[in-house]
Amino acid sequence: MWAELTGRPIRTLTGAVSLAIGLALFLSLQAYGSGYRQAARAPLSEIGTDIVAQREGDRPQAFEGAVFPHSAAVITDDQASSIAATDGVEATSRALIFWSFQDDDLVVTLGMDPAERIGPGRLSAGLRAGRFLQPQDSGVAVLDLSYAEQKQIKTGDTFTIAGQAFTVVGLVDTSRAGQIANANAYLPLADAQKITTSAGISGPTDVNMVFVTAQPASSEAVAREVAAALGKDSLITTPQSFDDALGSTFSLIDRFGLLVGIAALLVAAAGLARTVSANLAERRRDVAVMRAVGWPRRAVTTQLTAETAAITTLGLVLGVLGAVAVTWALNTTTVTVPVPWELSPTPHFLAGGARQLSLTVPMNASLDVFLIAAAALASLVAATLVSILAARRAAGIKPMEAWRVQ
């Protein structure tokens, strides 16, 4: 077998490389799709949540004082409690986002409970100066680092929101927290609720964002239940929302990548099978010699089948190595994931329009061991069956007939 494979290197490499190209394409497409799916989950995973629940409301009639963005209508305490009690929900966190118009300036403000370990509470990881909010805090604020630098504000300064003064106790880099619920200023939830209640746009216990962590197997069902709890105006953000935001290119790869990859693998396997059959047909005289000197049919079939299995194995190894190289190259790139406007709303009438936030994350493509094993097994089985059938036919010829044809 070794002499046969090395004695005809072009034939051996042609069969192996044809299979390797198809296998590498199949595995690389799946790795590419998995990398983008991981990227689509990054914005929510950065804040430790699976679902963001909101309600769509009306546009503010006037842009004065504290107002809600139209993507952030009131969620009552009963509705938020209903979400927390939904089967499959592991944890929830409430927040209150609003716009404060004051002195020809806009301050996007978010009220949050710093005791919650999901949602905006994760912002503490981006602390750059001072301290983060504490559960019992009141009358204090944490500012976005870039906003504070723009306004030349530092820790210890007094900052006014909707006519109320707050002491700045910390600065955070919000770009490191998924860009969801992005704001200029962060307040204790109770202080934010006092401001919106005084403005007449909410009740004392109302919020307008609920962050949900669900059991992995129940995420889709939980999303449906949360949407039902909030009614027809619900805005539910899941990783699928970011899949859609990534655009048509990813959607095409994600939906048809498996089909295209399987088609490429089948074409490669068919090419290998055709090469094997053609080579066996060309070796009729060799087989006749083998039979004439005493080789039994079973031995001839085993010899030819082993050669095919060796070529197939070489093709599989080259294909996996090629897929590993492509995956490594993909992982040197980054993916920019757009963040839907309603998750970090800014007014459309500002200079340049509403600000489009995005999160850039490293590509995290990975090869699926199960797919590698399945593709290898399918290729080996198909090539072996073809070689056995062709080898049996070749082994069944009479030596004199093969020599007369030659």
What is the domain partition of the chain in residue ranges? 2-42+247-405, 51-237
* Predicted pLDDT of residue 84: 92
| pTM, entire model | 0.72
pLDDT at 244 (0 to 100): 66
Separation CA 102–CA 84 (nearest Å): 35
Scanning 163-296, the segments in alpha helix (DSSP H) are 189-198, 219-230, 239-245, 248-282, 284-292
What are the tokens at 64?
A: 């004065």
C-alpha–C-alpha distance, residues 69 and 53, integer Å: 15
Residue-level pLDDT at 90: 92
- Give the pLDDT of the chain (406 residues) as one tens digit per residue: 777 777 777 777 877 888 888 888 888 888 888 887 787 777 777 778 889 999 998 877 777 888 998 878 899 999 999 999 999 999 999 999 999 987 778 899 999 998 888 888 888 888 899 999 998 899 999 999 989 999 999 999 999 998 899 999 999 987 766 567 788 999 999 999 999 999 999 999 999 999 999 988 888 899 999 999 998 889 998 887 776 666 655 666 666 666 676 777 677 767 766 666 666 666 666 777 776 777 777 777 777 778 778 888 888 899 899 999 999 998 998 887 777 777 777 776 555 555 667 777 888 888 888 888 888 888 788 777 777 776 676 666 665 555 555 4
Q: How far apart are CA 291 and CA 397, in angstroms?
A: 9
The sign of the CA dihedral 283, 285, 288, 290 is negative
Say which residues have a Cβ less than 8 Å from residue 177's Cβ, sequence separation at least 6: 46, 47, 120, 122, 123, 125, 126
> Taking CA 309 as the corner, what is the angle to CA 308 and CA 310, rounded to the nearest 5 degrees?
90
Provide the pLDDT for residue 58.
81
pLDDT value of residue 320: 92
